Amino acid sequence: MTALLTFFLLLFAGLPIFGVILAGAIVFLQTNDLAVLYDSIPIQFFGSLEINGLLAIPLFLLVGEIMNKAGLTSRLVAVAEVLVGRMTGGLAYANLVTNAMAASILGSAVAQIGVMSKVMIPEMERKGYDRAFSGAVTVSAGLLGPIIPPSMLMIIYGVVAVQPIAPLFIAGVLPGVLIIGALGIVILLTSLLGKGLPSGVGHDLGPRSRILFEGLAPALIPLVVIVGIMAGVMTPTESGAVASIIALVLGFAYRELRLADLGPILLTVALGTATITGLIAAASVLSWALAFQGVPDELVALMSGLTDSPFVFLLLVIFALMVLGMFLESISVLIVVVPLLMPVVTSLGIDPIHFGVVCTVATVMGLVTPPVGPGLYIAMVAADIRMGPLFRATVPFLVAVLLCIVLIAAVPALSTWLPGLTLG
């Protein structure tokens, strides 16, 4: 209890989550008369980073940074407008389609919401869309980032849960398509039953062809990743390296990436990698301390006493992760919680790949849920709108995503069928 109290006190005091986790581990050892284990902390800390799967993190961060700098988003928006722009509410659908395409490259909900808010919210408002609705579509569609492969959260989950990353990547495809469809239905219902949405606009055949030719080139990146992994010719780490090369070539081909940009890009990737791996190392120390004291076994006994139903357990996990996601960044939530829950997952016979998909979707919900909801704050700044109107406009989309999470939890095949089919 003292360690838990210390954890939350330091968290709300503003200490970086890395320090919060490490301090919590040290306090736990001290209060349980395990100070003799202090000398082993460095071994656990650095030993947790000797995992090949961690190499994929800087590679996919590099892909996202390069493509973001290379004008990817504006080209994807143009492609999406060509594909769905003629429909009533076409720009809202274009926002959704753009997010789906960008998700396969950026892989981070926060980064995706930040980029898309700057591009789509002002454009939708100029075309006659309500400002709050524009922000709601952008924020909700940004949740696709960690779900559609390649996904940074899936890599993190694979590392902390000791699961292969390739099937986790493939497992996100069907749930991602399901969520895209659900968000599209909300837009359609808003068009039919709400205040109505502006009419779409068309494009001449010439510009359509040029836009599609130039804008669909980035689709090579997720295609190479998914096909390469499914065909068994590349590991996730190797696919990240190949994707980085393609992104670099496209960046220079678009003439929006210069050699001078590579230094800041690599620095950003290095800082991002250090942050994530530092969190993993600190959380491994905490997990090791808890395991030494038998806390995971006590948690298994507790959960077994509450329910022996895998579905009910997953519902409890979804609720807990959504609450934690309101206060902590998604990566931090996964790193802290997943190692504790894996013994329960095993005891209930839940497929760990299925559990990874459920955890990933549930944690990102907190990004757009008050009182913290960093995704909401990003959109608030971009749209110059208060929290109340933005959140009210976002509620229908969140309900749709929540229903999708429950359906994914109830039907494991949505997560496991495609990896089983393609990877054997």
Can you tell me the distance from the alpha carbon of 42 to that of 243, in angstroms, rounded to the nearest whole number? 34
Can you tell me the distance from the alpha carbon of 67 to that of 246, in angstroms, rounded to the nearest whole number? 10
Is 54:158 a contact under the CB 8 Å cutoff?
Answer: no
CA 253 vs CA 67, 227, 398: distances in Å = 12, 24, 38
Name the token pair of 21.
Answer: 């986790």
Is 64:266 a contact under the CB 8 Å cutoff?
Answer: no
Can you tell me the distance from the alpha carbon of 138 to that of 13, in angstroms, rounded to the nearest whole number? 31
E strand or H helix at 44: helix 41-47
Whole-angstrom Cα Rg for the chain: 22
Can you tell me the distance from the alpha carbon of 169 to that of 250, in angstroms, rounded to the nearest whole number? 23
pLDDT at position 49 is: 77
Q: Is residue 362 pLDDT above 80, yes or no?
A: yes
pLDDT at position 414 is: 93
pLDDT at position 417 is: 92
Can you tell me the distance from the alpha carbon of 398 to that of 183, in angstroms, rounded to the nearest whole number? 9
pTM for the model stands at: 0.79
Can you tell me the distance from the alpha carbon of 195 to that of 191, in angstroms, rounded to the nearest whole number? 7
pLDDT at position 107 is: 56
Q: Is residue 207 pLDDT above 70, yes or no?
A: no
Which of the 8 DSSP states describes residue 309? -
Q: Is residue 112 pLDDT above 80, yes or no?
A: no
Please, which residues have CB within 8 angstroms of residue 238's CB and are 6 or more apart in sequence? 228
Listed range (52-56, 272-276, 293-297) with the worst mean pLDDT: 293-297
Can you tell me the distance from the alpha carbon of 329 to that of 338, in angstroms, rounded to the nearest whole number? 14
pLDDT at position 205 is: 46
Q: Kindly state the average pLDDT of the residues 198-226.
A: 67
pLDDT at position 327 is: 67
Question: Shortest CA distance to 76 belongs to which of 132, 115, 111?
Answer: 115
Q: Kindly state the average pLDDT of the residues 121-127.
A: 78
- Give pLDDT tens digits for 290-326: 777 777 667 667 776 778 889 999 998 888 888 777 7
Helices of type H across 293-373: 295-306, 310-325, 330-347, 352-365
- Give pLDDT tens digits for 13-47: 767 777 777 888 888 787 877 776 777 778 877 77
- Give pLDDT tens digits for 367-382: 777 666 667 777 777 6
